[in-house]
């Protein structure tokens, strides 16, 4: 692949995982955003957006509880999207390529968090010496520099040499395996939703999940409509419970 594109991919992945700005990485590291940028680079905006959005949907419900990352949407996107655009892969194949890298990205994140333990022990010494600057460096500068090497190098290498290898493998891939990967793309969103259910799914509240589910399955409402109705239902419950408190007291 083009050297400049590989450098760009390395930087995009570094920025998308730097986590500078809480929640900002959700945007800068989203396959959707990568799809937009790389689509522009390759002059295939629509394809880029569609592949980006399809990969994004796999990870739509993924949240990092306690800082633990279940899957890395950024690595999945930054490897699969440029290779797919370069070699004209179908969206299903791009998904098949993205999923394994989504798993691998978790290990990169674990390296980051293990190395961060060192900086906090350094920061304690700076706290002892009232060194605000030192605390700043330990909190932001050093982890970010280290992260650059953890993230930039693997992505740069994989995107640089990956395209040819991928074309070779994908050409040899039987249709049955391709079908299998597209099933994986269809099932994996369930993972994120299940994680959220684990966090907020109290038993007495579970019927609301089913209302939302079957409102779409039977009535065919779209996502925005669901958000509107869901907010109304939540508001009714909130106001009722506040009124009940008032009556009791």
Partner 1 sequence: MTSKPADPIKEAEKRALSNKDLFKTFARWYSAVEVSNSYERLQALSFCFALSGSLRKLYKGDDEGYREALKRHIQFYNSEGTFGSMIHGVTLSMEEEKAKGNEITEEVVTGFKTGLMGPIAGIGDTLIWGTLKPIILALACSLALNGVFVGGLIPFLFPMAIVLIGFGMLKSGYLLGKESVMKLMQTGLINNIITSASILGLFMMGALSSTYIKISTPIQFSVMDSDPIVLQDILDQILAGVLPLCAVFSIYFYFKYKGQNYNKLIIMLIVISLVTGFFGILSSS
Among residues 7 and 184, whose Cβ is nearest to partner 1? 184
C-alpha 167/C-alpha 85 separation (Å) is: 11
Select 42 or 229, whichever has its Cβ closest to partner 1.
229
d(CA 44, CA 35): 10
The candidate with the shortest Cα–Cα distance to 29, out of 180, 181, 147, 160, is 147
Q: Which is nearer to partner 1, 118 or 168 (CB)?
A: 118
Name the minimum Å distance from CB 207 to partner 1: 9
**SS percent in the chain: helix, strand, coil, step 5:** 85, 0, 15
Our CB check for partner 1 shows the closer of 3 and 233 to be: 233
Closest CA to 148 of 33, 7, 4: 7
Q: Tell me how far, at minimum, the Cβ of 94 lies from partner 1, in Å.
A: 13
Work out the widest C-alpha separation in the chain, in whole angstroms.
73
CB of 69 to partner 1, least distance (A): 8
In angstroms, give the least distance from the CB of 157 to partner 1: 23
């Amino acid at each position: 692949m083009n050297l400049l594109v590989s450098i760009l991919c390395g930087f995009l992945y570094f920025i998308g995982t730097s986590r500078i700005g809480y929640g900002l990485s959700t945007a800068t590291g989203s396959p959707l955003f990568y799809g937009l940028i790389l689509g522009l680079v390759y002059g295939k905006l629509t394809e880029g957006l569609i592949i980006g959005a399809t990969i994004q949907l796999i990870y739509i419900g993924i949240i990092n509880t306690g800082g633990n990352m279940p899957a890395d949407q950024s690595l999945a996107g930054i490897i699969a999207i440029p290779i797919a655009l370069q070699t004209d892969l179908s969206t299903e194949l791009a998904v098949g390529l993205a999923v394994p890298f989504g798993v691998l990205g978790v290990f990169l994140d674990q390296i980051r968090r293990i190395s961060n333990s060192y900086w906090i022990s350094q920061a304690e010494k700076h706290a002892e010496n009232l060194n605000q600057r030192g605390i700043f460096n330990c909190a932001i500068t050093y982890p970010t520099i280290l992260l650059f090497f953890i993230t930039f190098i693997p992505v740069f290498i994989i995107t640089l040499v990956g395209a040819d290898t991928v074309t070779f493998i994908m050409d040899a891939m039987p249709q049955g395996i391709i079908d299998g990967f597209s099933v994986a793309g269809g099932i994996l969103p369930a993972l994120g939703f299940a994680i959220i259910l684990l966090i907020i799914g109290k038993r007495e509240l579970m019927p609301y999940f089913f209302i939302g589910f079957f409102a779409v399955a039977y009535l065919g409402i779209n996502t925005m409509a669901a958000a509107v109705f869901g907010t109304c239902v939540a508001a009714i419950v909130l106001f009722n419970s506040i009124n009940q408190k008032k009556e009791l007291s």
